[in-house]
Structure 1
Amino acid sequence: MNYKLIALDVDGTLLNDNHELSEQTISTIREVSRSGAEIVLCTGRGPQNSIPFMEQIGLTGYVISHNGAATVDVESKEVVHQFAMDSKAILAYMDFFRDKRVHFDVNTAFHMYVDSVEGMAVEVRSMYENFLMLPAALPPLTEFSEPIVKVTAFDHADVLDKVYEELVLWKPEFNILRSGEYFLDLMHPDASKGNALKQLADRRGVRQEEVLAIGNYFNDITMLTFAGLGIAMDNSPLEVKAAANEVTASNNEDGVHAALLKYCLS
């Protein structure tokens, strides 16, 4: 099959556990791109800390960021589509996180805000540094001039498990998603990697069966099941592997390289 649109998750998929992109994977992605396929990063990161990987590889096109909440043109930095949240409805969730002493950030397409930059715990600041981000102080929501697209909570996995169990009992107006072992996202109910990838495929005139997607976590399931070929990393939870058509090597073993070599270059 000649795949025309290839969606790659970033953390746990494209990058190894040291947040590095291997030269072998870069070389293979470039070769796939030269063969005519369009590469899009489909990530929970924002565009400001995902576009640099596209530039490192030497690619233009699009990034699907914030787990599908905002799609951005790599060169122009234009937001071509975003799912805006109801800012008034966010307030109750922010108060809930504060009451539980769970750290959270509030995101527009290009900006990230937290309650207190100076008061962040060491492990929280380290997390942002690993993801190449430093948030700004959160202003009143009434002062936002851009749509809010995502609210992310960060804490230990067992804490977020309990938070998730409580929040789903609210019959929430948002999509509540475990986007990583230490992350929980709130987004517009229609926002997902799968929906954003479908919209981009339609925009680019690509049929569903011509889409290949590679990912490793629960937030990747919608894009793996949308794609004509969905490939899970070997470091994925069992539920993610079950949702995929195939499984490749882990992110520490250049699984993206192996999958692209097998399905796009063989």
Structure 2
Amino acid sequence: MAPAIRLFLADVDGTLVTQDKILTDRAIAAVAKLREAGILFAITSGRPPRGMSMLVEPLQLTMPIAAFNGGVYVHPDMSVIEQQVIPDDVTPAVIDLLAAHNLDVWIYRGSDWFLRDPKAPHVARESWTVKFDPTVTGNFASVSDGVAKVTGVSDDYDAVQKGVDAVRERFGDHVSAARSQPYYGDVTNPNANKGAVAQYLSRTYQIPPEQIATIGDQPNDVLMFAHSGLSIAMGNASHEVQAAARRVTTSNEDEGFANAVERFILP
């Protein structure tokens, strides 16, 4: 008999919320049911901390929130628990390499988001999603220290993947690089990945991996699947991501998160 799940760790975009970035009533109710069953609930995302603050109240979050895929851990009041940044001597070269692959470059540092072109693809959408606007700069050199995440953005999905692959090849284990969406390639500290988030929560709450469940839809979520006893892929995930999980739920447009809680988590 499989051990009871004591902690459920969820990705946000493509998983917990709909394509329109809406938290449904059923998703809110599912988290309430977890709470009633004594199961801890935590979220992790490539979003900055401020980009998850709107989830705290409706979900009554109490656990550490892992922003930037684990680059920054914050309390629900957004106070910082700990953060892990990209090495300062590596950041400028990462920026140049992503730009060389014709990707728009976004930089996240502290509570700020910097970019060069406010009219570039996905900027307006991202501003609406995270509920704050970027700072436009013509000089990344002035903001390249203490960076939590560098993102390469393009609607040419192959270019995004090639950019991610090039970063991995050049910088090895000095960084972590993965796609958080088909059009986003995220580069963070090597210890800032969703697998490390699952490990952090396991250590902090003394819950063995086999009693942790994880759910997500993107390649960067596969890293946390490996550190949980029950891994769940969304119906909107790629075949590769689904193949890496033990269970598959419906899509985020068809209450996949709530269905996963009811079918796979609650006894």
How does the TM-score come out when normalised to structure 1? 0.89
Partner of 1:222: 223
Q: CA deviation at 1:62?
A: 1.8
Is the Cα–Cα contact under 8 Å of residues 47 and 109 in structure 1 kept in the other structure?
Answer: no
Q: CA offsets per residue over residues 94-150 of structure 1, 9 Å max, x none? A: 2233444421111134322223xxx42253432323422311234665667x83221
C-alpha contact (below 8 Å) 2:103/2:152 kept by paired residues: yes
**Which amino acid is the alignment partner of residue 59 of structure 1?**
L
Conserved? CA contact 1:64–1:196, under 8 Å: yes
**In structure 1, what is the Cα distance between the partners aligned to 2:186 and 2:261?**
29
| Greater mean alpha carbon deviation, residues 193-202 or residues 78-87 | 78-87
Q: Say yes or no: does 1:84 pair with 2:85.
A: yes
Q: Deviations over 1:70-108 (max 9, x none)?
A: 111113x22223222111211122223344442111113
Q: CA 1:137/1:88 → structure 2, altered by over 3 Å: closer, same or farther?
A: farther
Asked if 1:67 corresponds to 2:69, the answer is: yes
Greater shift after overlay, 57-66 or 100-109?
Answer: 100-109
Which residue of 2 is the match for residue 155 of structure 1?
154
* Partner of residue 264, structure 1: 265
Alpha carbons of structure 1 residues 103 and 143: separation in structure 2 relative to 1, 3 Å: closer
Inter-CA distance 106–165: structure 2 relative to 1 (3 Å threshold): same
Change (3 A) 1:89 1:257: same
Unaligned runs of 5+ in 1: none
- Please tell me the root mean square deviation across aligned C-alpha atoms, in Å: 2.1
The count of aligned residue pairs is 261
Residue deviations 1:216-236 (CA, integer Å, cap 9, x gap): 110101111111111111111
List, as ranges, runs of 4+ consecutive aligned residues in structure 1 with deviation greater than 6 Å: none
Q: How many percent of aligned residue pairs carry the same amino acid?
A: 24
Extract unaligned runs of 5+ from structure 2. Answer: none
Corresponding position of 1:131 = 129
Deviation sequence 1:10-39 (CA, Å, 0-9, x none): 111111111111101111111111221111
Matched with 2:23 is: 21
Letter in 2 for 1:105: W
Distance 1:261 1:111, change over 3 A: same
Superposition TM-score, scaled by structure 2 size: 0.89
1:211 CA displacement:
0.7
- Distance in 1 (CA, whole Å) between partners of 2:241 and 2:187 is 20
Residues in 2 aligned to 1:198 and 1:73: alpha-carbon distance in whole angstroms: 17
